[in-house]
Structure 1
Amino acid sequence: MPENVLKLAQRLEQARKPFVLATVVWCERPTSAKPGARALIQADGSVSGWIGGSCAQPVVVREALRLLHEGGDPYLLRLGAPEAGLTRTGSGVRVFPMTCSSGGILDIYMEPHLPPPRLFLVGASPVVAALARLAPVLDFAVVQIDEDGLPDMQPDERSAVLVATHGEYDEEAVARALRSPAWYVGMVGSRRRAEACRQYLREAGLEEQAIARLRAPAGLDLGAVTPEEIAASILAELVQVRRRQPAQAPVVSAASPATAVDPVCGMIVEVAAARQRSTYQGQIFYFCCPACKRLFENDPQRYLAPKAHATYER
């Protein structure tokens, strides 16, 4: 199974599709998953592999989808009973106490894999040639576009576009880029040329809010002269914009399903998919597994007091 999961991961990376690889790195029995168990969670919530039963898997899937939506670094996810010593400290530990009857503790390494941002380079100028050499060092996936390929250019929210056509088809390329969700649109040219391009965009019907996204002349003012120096100034601006705009990270756009908190273990349960539910004093409660439902029905008041469900230690 792990080998199949890794093969799937390779295919998804080649297709530029995001996923989270979850790996059990430590456990305290009894647990159904053992160290080395691995699962791959895709953006649609589908799971390949094995990471634990009805108590563990929903938390892992929900945390994976959160990672894909918000972005973030890998971290350790700890699951287990509150009395089992869930007091581990350290950087990047996210703790979820659970009271499922099986007991045990799981430490799961959550590793997001997001496709690298694409940098569309439009034109065939020396600056474009320099960027094509330098940008991969900063983990940009370079896509070079000429005039014939312009109709097929489709930047997404993880894409940047740099136009440098020496005035041949700047306006058409910039207009197409500004109509996309690309997080950066820049154009190489003089200030006079940039203003002429903006005027063209206004006459073409683009709104001022869209035109304001254009960075022209592209690049930070470093006093650059040579094509390589101009390329370096553009890369510096790309890094600056990327680091200051965390909103570019989300890759899951579907609306989140309605959820409820299991009053016994504190897990988040998807209401539509919950098979375990119980009604008490006119209110419906949802559970991750039959054990939690049984514990609740034996003594509802014990589990209705407010409680903290998760902690995140940085």
Structure 2
Amino acid sequence: MIEPDELADVARDLESRGEAYAVATVVWRQAPSSGQLGGRAIVTADGRLHGWIGGACAEPSVIRAAQRLITAGESALLYLGATDDLLLPEGVTAIPMSCQSEGALQIYVEPAKPAVHLVVVGHSPMARVLTELATAVGWRAELMTGPEFTAADVDPRSVVMVATQGHGDEDVVKHAASAMPAYLGLVASHKRGRAVLGYVAEQGIPQHLLDRVSTPVGIDLGPTTHREIAVSILAELVKVRAAGGFAGEQPQRTELPLLETPDAVDPVCHMTVPADDAHFPYEHEGTTYHFCCVGCRDAFAEDPARFLTVTEA
């Protein structure tokens, strides 16, 4: 079983790479389930599980539920166990599970958004303060000069703030726009912003990329100090993020292979399982059935008619 400090290390590593994940915690158990009260695990967006929340019956269901919750950005309380004649409180998601242990679990799954990756390009006092403020609110902020910056420094989840303020603005905007970050801002006046974007357009950067550049940025405070300008820019970025404006932050569905696998219902225990080769496929009269464990598959193979009659009824 993974230790709490190891789990914290996993979380820090995922956050440093900007990967979304969910934390699954066992909040209730019915013996003899192998899951333990307080047991925790981290589930990544691509379906990896670190930690322990239960055995082979519980893990696949929790992983798939966690992936969906990461995509939706929602938390949920899952009930895993027999669902016959079961009355659950509103808001609890029931996942049928009737493996050999006959235990049950309630697991709270909470997605954790990765820290915003903010790249501030510039060397002015305002750029330094903006980087410090973003770090203070838990963002992963980097400061680099215009000549240092390339498109390779960002990815589709990054937020880029061009604060070169007249020192190579055009080149930085060109590189940043080509990387298609989640958000791209240019610190400039209306007039200066239009001039920069016009010049970059003449250099052959497609207009649809330039249309994604926000300028000017920050709340208009009138005449103010560089520190206050940095505060106004961060305030606007926080507002944009809260409204879902960092569209590249969330992993795309194509990055979640387990979600693309069709579901199947185990005809023995009625648990929903992925219809893949890892879930004990068994062909009977031209139809392939999938099972949560070898025990269910073998029971079905011994007398398919017994379970198919129950399923059809």
TM surpasses 0.5? yes
- The alpha-carbon distance between structure 1 residues 57 and 304, as it changes in their structure 2 partners (threshold 3 A), is farther
1:20-75 superposed Cα distances (whole Å, 9 cap, x missing partner): 3323221012312221333333344333333222321110111233344x152443
Indicate yes or no: 2:259 matched with 1:259.
no
Q: Which secondary structure state, in structure 2, belongs to the residue aligned with residue 299 of structure 1? A: helix
Distance 2:57 2:312 in 1: 20
Indicate yes or no: 2:47 matched with 1:45.
yes
Alpha-carbon contact 1:39-1:50 (below 8 Å) kept: yes
Distance 2:51 2:124 in 1: 48
Alpha-carbon contact 2:281-2:288 (below 8 Å) kept: no
* Residue aligning to 1:79: 80
* Residue aligning to 1:107: 106
CA positional deviation for 1:291 = 4.5
**Identity rate of aligned residues, in percent?**
35
The structure whose RCO (Cα within 8 Å, separation 6+) is larger is 1
TM (norm. structure 2) is 0.83
* Residue aligning to 1:55: 57
What RMSD, in angstroms, separates the aligned Cα atoms of the two structures?
2.7
Distance 2:8 2:72 in 1: 18
Distance 1:266 1:224 in 2: 64
Distance 1:63 1:258 in 2: 13
- The alpha-carbon distance between structure 1 residues 51 and 13, as it changes in their structure 2 partners (threshold 3 A), is same
Distance 1:243 1:224 in 2: 27
Which among 273, 282, 289 is matched to residue 285 of structure 1? Answer: 289
TM (norm. structure 1) is 0.83
- The alpha-carbon distance between structure 1 residues 238 and 203, as it changes in their structure 2 partners (threshold 3 A), is same
Of residues 214-223 and 7-16 in structure 1, the stretch that sits farther from structure 2 once superposed is: 7-16
* Residue aligning to 1:273: 278
| Unmatched tracts of structure 2, length 5 or more | none
Distance 2:208 2:88 in 1: 49
Alpha-carbon contact 2:273-2:290 (below 8 Å) kept: no
* Residue aligning to 2:6: 7
CA positional deviation for 1:123 = 0.4
* Residue aligning to 1:192: 191
- The alpha-carbon distance between structure 1 residues 136 and 65, as it changes in their structure 2 partners (threshold 3 A), is same
CA positional deviation for 1:77 = 2.0
1:97-134 superposed Cα distances (whole Å, 9 cap, x missing partner): 33334322201132434430111111012321331232
Alpha-carbon contact 2:177-2:213 (below 8 Å) kept: yes
| Unmatched tracts of structure 1, length 5 or more | 306-314
- The alpha-carbon distance between structure 1 residues 95 and 133, as it changes in their structure 2 partners (threshold 3 A), is same
CA positional deviation for 1:267 = 1.4
1:191-227 superposed Cα distances (whole Å, 9 cap, x missing partner): 1211111112211211111100001111244546332
